[in-house]
Amino acid sequence: MKKLLLTGFALVSMAAQAQSWTAQATNFPANFGVDEIKIVDASTAWTFAYDGSGAGTYPKIVSLTTNGGTTWTAKTVVGPGANALISDITAIDGSTAWIVTAPSGAGANANKIYKTTNGGTAWTQQASGFAAASFGNQIHFWDANNGWVCGDPIAGKFEMYKTANGGTSWTAVAGAPAPFGGQGGEFSYVGVKEVVGDKIWIGTDLGRILQSPDRGVTWTGNFSPVLDFGGVTTSGSSGSMAFKDVNNGVLIAVDGDTTASIYATTD
C-alpha cells in the first residue's frame, strides 16, 4: 500500500470541496445519529440509528429514502429482543432489506437476521444458525437470493453463513477464516465491511483485512497499516476503507487523537 500523509492543506482542500453537501433529515428522534448506511441506487438508501444522547441505549430504528434523500421515513424494527442491537443493514431496493443483530446485554441469543419486504413496516426473523457465543457483525445481499453474513469467531472460525434463497435457509461457510492467534485472538466490528462485485473486505481488531474474491466462499488475510479497526484492543486506533473496484481502494488509519494517514492500494 502507498501511504499519503494528510496535511493541513489537504484537509482544508477536502473541507472546501465538501461545501456543496446538503443536510437531509432522517426523521430519527432528537440526538439520534446515522450509524450504517446502504445506498442501493441514486434514489434509494437505507440507514439505521445510534443513540447520540449519551443514554447508552441501542435504538431499533431504520430510515428509508426512495427519492434521493429529499424525504426519509423512519420506522421502528419490531422483532429483536430488548438485549439486541442492530449491527448492519443491506438492501436490494426500496422494499426489501435485511438487518443482522447482536447482543447488547445479557439474555437470550440476540444474534439474528431479520428481513423486510414492505419497506421496513414489518420484519421477519430468519433462521441463520448463529450461536449465542458469537456476535453478528456484517451482512450483504447481492440480489434477491444471494447473501452472506458474518459474526465473531466461534469454534476456531469466523462464524459465516451464506444463502441462495433470500435468507429462507442459511449454510455455514466451510472456508471461513480462522482468527489470528487462535480462538479468542481476533474479532471484527459491526458494519466494518466493503463489497465490490463479488469481493468482500472486513477489518479486525488486530488490523487485519480479511478478503474474499468469491462472495465469501474462500478467504485470505493480510495485516494493514491500521492497528485496530475499532479501537477495542488498541485504544485510540480506528480505520476505514473504501474501494472503487476489486483492486483500487483507499484506507484511512487513525492512531490516537492527532495522527491520521491515508493509504492507497492497487492490488
Distance of CA 25 to the CA centre of its chain: 22
Phi-psi region of 83 (alpha: psi -120 to 50; beta: other; left: phi over 0): alpha
Mean local confidence (pLDDT), 16-42: 86
Residue type for 267, please?
Answer: D
Say how far apart CA 233 and CA 6 lie, in whole Å.
Answer: 25
pLDDT attached to residue 13:
46
Between residues 164 and 267, the one the model is more confident about: 164
pLDDT attached to residue 11:
43
The pTM (predicted TM-score) of the whole model is 0.89
Closest C-alpha among 213, 243, 210 to residue 224: 210
CB 106 within 8 A of CB 132: no
Asked if pLDDT for residue 221 goes beyond 60, the answer is yes
Could you tell me what percent of the chain has a pLDDT over 70?
92
For residue 16, give the 3-state DSSP assignment: helix
Mean local confidence (pLDDT), 54-67: 93
Asked if pLDDT for residue 16 goes beyond 80, the answer is no
CB 217 within 8 A of CB 200: no
Closest C-alpha among 244, 186, 160, 192 to residue 35: 192
Asked if pLDDT for residue 72 goes beyond 80, the answer is yes
**pLDDT one-digit tens code per residue, 128-178:** 888 888 899 999 999 999 999 999 999 899 999 999 999 999 999 999 999
Say how far apart CA 13 and CA 18 lie, in whole Å.
Answer: 9
* Mean pLDDT taken over the chain: 89
Cell numbers for 194, please give them. Answer: 466493503
